[in-house]
Amino acid sequence: MDNSQNFIPLCTMENKKSDTICIFGTGDFGRSLGCKLLQCGHSVIYGSRNPQSSSLTPKGAEVFSHSEAAQRASIIILAIHRENYDFLKQYTEVLNGKVLVDVSNNLKINQYPESNAEYLARMVPEAKVVKAFNTISAWALQSGALDASRQVFVCGDEIYAKQSVMDIVRTLGLTPLDQGTLLASNEVENYPLQLFPMWRIPIFICSGFTILIFLYCVLTEVLYPCVTLKEDASYLIAISIPNRVFPIVSLILLALVYLPGIIAAVLQLYRGTKYSRFPDWLDKWMLCRKQLGLVALAYAFLHAIYTLVMPIRYYVRWWSNNYIITQIKTNNTYEFLNHYAWLSDSYVALGILGFFFYVLLGITSLPSVSNAVNWREFRFVQSKLGYLTLVLCTAHTLVYGGDRFIYGTYYKWYLPPAFVVALIIPCIVLSLKLIIIVPCLDKRITKIRQGWERNSKS
Ligand SMILES: NC(=O)C1=CN([C@@H]2O[C@H](COP(=O)(O)OP(=O)(O)OC[C@H]3O[C@@H](n4cnc5c(N)ncnc54)[C@H](OP(=O)(O)O)[C@@H]3O)[C@@H](O)[C@H]2O)C=CC1
Ligand SMILES: [Fe+3]
């Protein structure tokens, strides 16, 4: 049966606003959306199980039975839970050719084998099902607090139906994002249920390293002196230990941003082709590199701030006063060591430059900035400047370590393992990168990446 005559695409704003929009369900979402539609100049009617007793519906909207309401409109928004869709079976006739907007969400990701919108399309095959509005909450529609969620994902198989819904979305001051056909509805329905999916692995890795290194520092710098020397060094927990943890974790995370790219290059070199899938773990790792880098930047920021407050710390002031008083008492002047001045200035300079490029990397990863550069420029900044940052930060840590070990007046036995932990991954990444950029390997990898080389291993 051809029902295309039943549905007339809405082309102009004038048509759009005069066309009646029907909402099935007078619950929270139905009422909020209806209210917003009325405010924006649309004519709204409701379809309800109990048209007489629906007293909470917004002023200016009439409430009818489902079949009567459906007859009066060409667009019907279903503000009803999927579990209650069964009643629609009795109205398939009147719903033929109408645009049915599915706004439903589920309680769990992939709760049903097929998406709610596909389920609806199967139940009312002659209707034009469009998925929309599920990412906007009733509360946000009511209170106008739409700052965080102005985007409305829209998908559907019928292009005109989808276009009409997108036009309505625009008249509400929201931004429609075309997600394609109903095949995308599963993803659209899962979207509001996700909790920072791309951030999970970075936060997990970062928390793991933070806890381990923090515990190591507390054990060696607080508990060990407490047990062996009966010394209370617990004040170190507030600033000294975090300021050891943040740079170490930051450097490790920055190296972990570049490690998957190197593993991928080694794999491609080994396989001799790019036409072969990476293992799943590598894919996931590659996808969360930006988030890893941003967490690393946050830790670098903390390290910078913690370092800046050093001079106003009681412990540091006491230590430096004591140092001067000791010289006076012993009538002794410690000589100025030129190489020591060089060493300490070098690690500070390397740290400042490393931090500067770190921030630059963070800024260029912002969508508004990355949109302003082309792909090659973006790759240049993220890759070349990224490696430069890694080199500077690794050098900063190495020189700082050298400063402590060679000339430091307070060399401690527990520092070398901490430096090894901080430097091992960055050093692996940098050495592998040095090997990969050897001209013959670099040429080969360029060939592979441009698809000129395929071999039997693919
Ligand atoms: N609340 C929110 O913030 C959001 C909700 N949604 C989606 O909107 C839909 C509605 O949610 P919400 O308004 O919160 O839910 P409510 O429970 O508040 O409202 C659901 C409405 O569905 C109707 N209904 C209930 N049972 C049946 C049935 N057996 N047969 C026919 N109609 C029935 C009722 O309307 P009546 O009595 O008039 O028939 C009821 O008011 C859901 O699919 C939800 O996932 C999407 C985004 C955000
Ligand atoms: Fe530092």
Residue 11 vs residue 203, higher pLDDT: 203
CATH number of the domain to which 412 belongs: 1.20.120
364 and 384 in contact (C-beta within 8 Å)?
Answer: no
Judgement on whether residues 209 and 130 belong to the same structural domain of the protein? no
Judgement on whether residues 371 and 238 belong to the same structural domain of the protein? yes
81 in contact with ligand 1, CB cutoff 6 A: yes
Residue 411 lies in a domain: yes
Judgement on whether residues 84 and 224 belong to the same structural domain of the protein? no
DSSP string, 168-228: HHHHTT-EEEE--SGGGHHHHHHGGG--SGGGHHHHHHHHHHHHHHHHHHIIIIIIHHHHH
Residue 454 lies in a domain: no
91 in contact with ligand 1, CB cutoff 6 A: no
27 in contact with ligand 1, CB cutoff 6 A: yes
Shortest-distance ligand to the CA of residue 153: 1
DSSP string, 60-113: T-EEE-HHHHHHH-SEEEE-S-GGGGGGGGGGHHHHTT-EEEE----SSTT-SS
Asked if residue 6 has pLDDT above 50, the reply is no
CA of 115 to the centre of ligand 2 (A): 51
Asked if residue 2 has pLDDT above 90, the reply is no
Which among 93, 298, 167 is positioned nearest to 306, based on CA atoms? 298
Shortest-distance ligand to the CA of residue 46: 1
256 in contact with ligand 1, CB cutoff 6 A: no
Whole-angstrom distance, CA of residue 249 vs CA of residue 255: 10
The ipTM estimated for the assembled molecules is: 0.96
pLDDT at 147: 56
DSSP 128: E
For the stretch 380-425, pLDDT in tens is 888 889 999 999 999 999 988 877 776 655 567 777 788 888 899 9
Judgement on whether residues 203 and 189 belong to the same structural domain of the protein? no
| Mean pLDDT (whole number) for 419-436 | 90
Q: Which residue has the tokens 């300079």?
A: 349
- pLDDT grade, residue 8 (50/70/90)? very low
25 in contact with ligand 1, CB cutoff 6 A: yes
pLDDT at 5: 43
**Final residue in a domain of this structure, among 168, 193, 218:** 193
Residue 456 lies in a domain: no
Residue 443 lies in a domain: yes
CA of 50 to the centre of ligand 1 (A): 14
- Token pair for 182: 């109903």
117 in contact with ligand 1, CB cutoff 6 A: no
β 128-131/151-156 pair status: antiparallel
| Mean pLDDT (whole number) for 363-376 | 83
Asked if residue 325 has pLDDT above 90, the reply is yes
Hey, whose CA ends up nearest to atom 41 of ligand 1?
27
- pLDDT grade, residue 198 (50/70/90)? confident
Domain assignment of residue 364, given as a range: 197-449
48 in contact with ligand 1, CB cutoff 6 A: yes
28 in contact with ligand 1, CB cutoff 6 A: yes
CATH number of the domain to which 113 belongs: 3.40.50.720
pLDDT at 9: 44
**Final residue in a domain of this structure, among 156, 178, 193:** 193
Judgement on whether residues 178 and 47 belong to the same structural domain of the protein? yes
Residue 164 lies in a domain: yes
Residue 458 lies in a domain: no
| Mean pLDDT (whole number) for 49-54 | 84
104 in contact with ligand 1, CB cutoff 6 A: yes
Residue 455 lies in a domain: no
User: pTM (2 decimals)?
Assistant: 0.72
Judgement on whether residues 48 and 140 belong to the same structural domain of the protein? yes
| 43 φ, ψ (degrees, to nearest 5) | -100, 130
pLDDT at 17: 53
Hey, whose CA ends up nearest to atom 27 of ligand 1?
84
Index of the ligand 1 atom closest to the CA of residue 192: 47
Judgement on whether residues 166 and 216 belong to the same structural domain of the protein? no
pLDDT at 4: 44
| Mean pLDDT (whole number) for 317-329 | 92
Hey, whose CA ends up nearest to atom 30 of ligand 1?
84
Whole-angstrom distance, CA of residue 428 vs CA of residue 362: 23
CA of 253 to the centre of ligand 1 (A): 45
47 in contact with ligand 1, CB cutoff 6 A: no
157 in contact with ligand 1, CB cutoff 6 A: no
Residue 341 vs residue 254, higher pLDDT: 254
Rounded to a whole number of angstroms, the distance between the first and last alpha carbons of the chain is 49
Judgement on whether residues 13 and 33 belong to the same structural domain of the protein? yes
Min mean pLDDT across 74-88, 282-296, 395-409 is at 395-409
- Token pair for 20: 């009646």
Percent of the chain with pLDDT over 90: 58
Dihedral sign for Cα 416, 417, 422, 427, please: positive
Judgement on whether residues 124 and 158 belong to the same structural domain of the protein? yes
**Final residue in a domain of this structure, among 177, 193, 209:** 193
Index of the ligand 1 atom closest to the CA of residue 25: 35
Judgement on whether residues 187 and 210 belong to the same structural domain of the protein? no
DSSP string, 99-122: EEEE----SSTT-SSS-HHHHHHH
Whole-angstrom distance, CA of residue 207 vs CA of residue 224: 24
CA of 40 to the centre of ligand 1 (A): 22
pLDDT at 410: 56
Q: How many domains does the chain have?
A: 2
Judgement on whether residues 213 and 353 belong to the same structural domain of the protein? yes
Residue 343 vs residue 101, higher pLDDT: 101
Residue 261 lies in a domain: yes
Asked if residue 456 has pLDDT above 50, the reply is no
Min mean pLDDT across 154-168, 198-212, 241-255, 408-422 is at 408-422
394 and 427 in contact (C-beta within 8 Å)?
Answer: yes
Q: Which residue has the tokens 């050298």?
A: 402
pLDDT at 18: 58
Hey, whose CA ends up nearest to atom 19 of ligand 1?
27
| Mean pLDDT (whole number) for 243-250 | 95
CA of 80 to the centre of ligand 1 (A): 4
Judgement on whether residues 64 and 188 belong to the same structural domain of the protein? yes
Mean pLDDT, the chain, integer: 87
Asked if residue 261 has pLDDT above 60, the reply is yes
For ligand 1, pick from 23, 24, 26, 28 the residue to mutate: most ligand atoms within 8 Å of CB: 28
Asked if residue 214 has pLDDT above 60, the reply is yes
105 in contact with ligand 1, CB cutoff 6 A: yes
Helices and strands per DSSP (H, E), number in the chain: 20, 8
pLDDT at 244: 92
Whole-angstrom distance, CA of residue 42 vs CA of residue 341: 74
For ligand 1, pick from 23, 24, 29, 66 the residue to mutate: most ligand atoms within 8 Å of CB: 29
For ligand 1, pick from 53, 76, 81, 82 the residue to mutate: most ligand atoms within 8 Å of CB: 81
